[in-house]
Every structure is written in C-alpha cells, then in structure tokens.
Amino acid sequence: MFLSDHATILDPFRYVQAMASAFTSARGRVERALVDALEHAGEHWIVRGAGPAASATARFDDVVVASGAWSRALLAPLGVHLQLESQRGYHVQYTGGRTLVARTVVLADRKVFITPMLEGLRVGGTVEIGGLRAPPDERRAAVLARIARETFPALADLPSRTWMGHRPCMPDTVPVVGPARGHRGLWIATGHGHLGLTDSLNTARRIADGVLGQVPAVAPEGAQLLHS
C-alpha cells in the first residue's frame, strides 16, 4: 500500500528543540528537574524533587502530568490510577543508508518499520511487556538488525547502534488527555502508545484549552479521567 501524503520527521530531537525555542521566544521558561512527587496545597500544586522548579517554594495553579510511561507512578499517590503499561520497543540506527528508502517503509510481514533519518537509516519494531526497570533484551534488537540486512544487503558494512524505548499504552489504546476528576488544576496527557509525536499537537491544544477554561475543567461525573 502506497500512502502519497505520508510524512517523515528526519530528526525528532531537532523538532522538539524547535518547539521549545518557540515557547521560550513567547516568554515561556524551560527548566529541567527530576520530579518524584506532586502535592496539593490549598489552591496550588507543589512539585517535589530536585532542581529549581521542583521545591516546596514552587507553587503552580495548574500541573500537567505528561511523563509517558512514568506518569502512573506520579499519579498513583494522588489516588489517580491508570491502567498504563510500557510497550517496550527496540531500534537499530545505522550511520548511513538513508538513501535506501525515500520515506517510511513498513515490512508488513515482519512488523518492522524502516525510516530515513538525518544521520542514517532507522529500523524499529517489536513490542515487549517488561516494565520500566528490566534491562533491554539485546536479542530483540539483533532480530531487527538481521531483518534489515536481509532486506537491504547494503547495510551489512555500516556501523550501527541500538536502544530500547518505552511507549506508554492504555489497554484500549486510547490516550488519557484532560483533567483528573477531583483534583482541580491537575491535568493528564499520557498513554499515546506508538503515536506520541503524531498526537502531540492536538494533545497540547486540548490541554491548553482546558487550562484556559475553554473546555470543562473537571472530568464528567462517573469518569475518573477524560479520554480523548
């Protein structure tokens, strides 16, 4: 099947950097900190952890939990329980080989995705339910590399590296986007599975509209969370 309007981002990190730059240009501020807990204090939220933005003196009217597969651990102490699990995916990144394909190619019989990137060719696939703590299983990456070389023999002599990433997934594959019921000012944006980058823009719009009061600020009665 050929999808004529299929788009590919050659460098996701550079794409995210551009968004951060646009945010700071609009007088936003980006701070990096390790956050391990959220606390509700009156009308405000306190972010606990390490770093200038994560201290008892940092109080916020609204907090958005968009921590991927780690969102569950931050929300559980607040009584917000997500049936969220990591679908661990493996990647092989070749240095070079980018011109072997002009767009993302899916080997449908192998469930393997091959994508041209700025620095070379990326091969990704598989789903592993192994939690957040278990080390990567390099055998899975080796299978992807073997399939890639069988499909494109020109990759055989190219250097490569591998890694494993966490895809935050809900049982029904539908992301959780919106307010946490019973916790005014607490917003959730997680569970996007394999489509985090794809769904990021509309998720941001939905959350921004909620924070600005353009959609209901509380979840519907009988629903702990608002799904989108």
Is the dihedral angle over the CA atoms 124, 129, 131, 136 positive or is it negative? negative
Minimum mean pLDDT range among 40-44, 54-58, 70-74, 183-187: 54-58
Q: Provide the percentage of residues in the chain whose pLDDT is more than 70.
A: 90
Residue 4 lies in a domain: no
Count Cβ neighbours within 10 Å for each residue of 170-207 and write b for 16 or more, e otherwise.
beeeebbbbbbbebebbbbbbbbbbebeebbeebeebb
Q: In 3-state terms, what secondary structure has residue 98? A: helix
For 213, phi then psi, to 5°, come to 85, 15
pLDDT of 20-49, one tens digit each? Answer: 999 999 999 998 888 889 999 888 999 988
Of 140, 169, 198, the last residue of a domain is 169
Q: Write down the pTM of the prediction.
A: 0.86
Residue 221's pLDDT is what?
Answer: 43
Give the 3-state secondary structure of residue 20. helix
In tens, the pLDDT along 61-105 reads: 999 999 999 999 999 999 999 999 999 999 999 999 999 999 999
Say how far apart CA 55 and CA 41 lie, in whole Å.
13
Distance CA 17, CA 103 (A): 23
Both 121 and 221 in one domain: the answer is no
Strand order in the sheet with 186-190: 63-65, 186-190, 176-180, 225-227
Residues 98, 165: one domain?
yes
Residue 112 dihedral angles phi and psi, to the nearest 5°: -120, 135
3 in any annotated domain: no
216 pLDDT above the threshold of 60: no
List Cβ neighbours of 155 (8 Å cut-off, separation of 6 or more).
94, 97, 100, 121, 148, 149
- Cβ burial, residue 143 (10 Å; 0-12/13-18/19+): middle
Could you tell me if residue 177 is inside a domain? yes
Flag whether 9 is in a domain: no
Regarding whether 95 and 42 lie in a shared domain, the answer is no
Q: Report if residue 14 sits inside a domain.
A: no
Same domain for 75 and 183? Answer: yes
**Do residues 108 and 143 share a domain?**
yes
Decide which of 148, 169, 190 is a domain's last residue.
169
Residue 108 lies in a domain: yes
Q: Is the pLDDT of residue 156 over 60?
A: yes
Same-domain status, 119 and 53: no
Residues 155 and 216 in one domain: no
Of the listed ranges 33-47, 131-145, 157-171, 180-194, the one predicted with least confidence: 33-47
Q: Do 89 and 48 have their domain in common?
A: no
Which residue segment(s) compose the domain that 56 sits in?
A: 31-60
Distance CA 145, CA 190 (A): 30
CB 141 within 8 Å of CB 92: yes
In this structure, are 89 and 160 located in the same domain? Answer: yes
**What are the tokens at 160?**
């490569």
**Is 165 found in the same domain as 109?**
yes
Q: Do residue 120 and residue 90 come from a single domain?
A: yes
Is 114 in the same domain as 73?
A: no
Q: Does 184 reside within a domain? A: yes
**What is the longest distance spanned by two Cα atoms in the chain?**
62
The total number of structural domains in the chain stands at 3
Of 128, 151, 169, the residue that ends a domain is 169
> Would strands 105-107 and 44-50 be described as parallel, antiparallel, or unpaired?
unpaired
Question: Cβ distance 197 to 9 under 8 Å?
Answer: yes
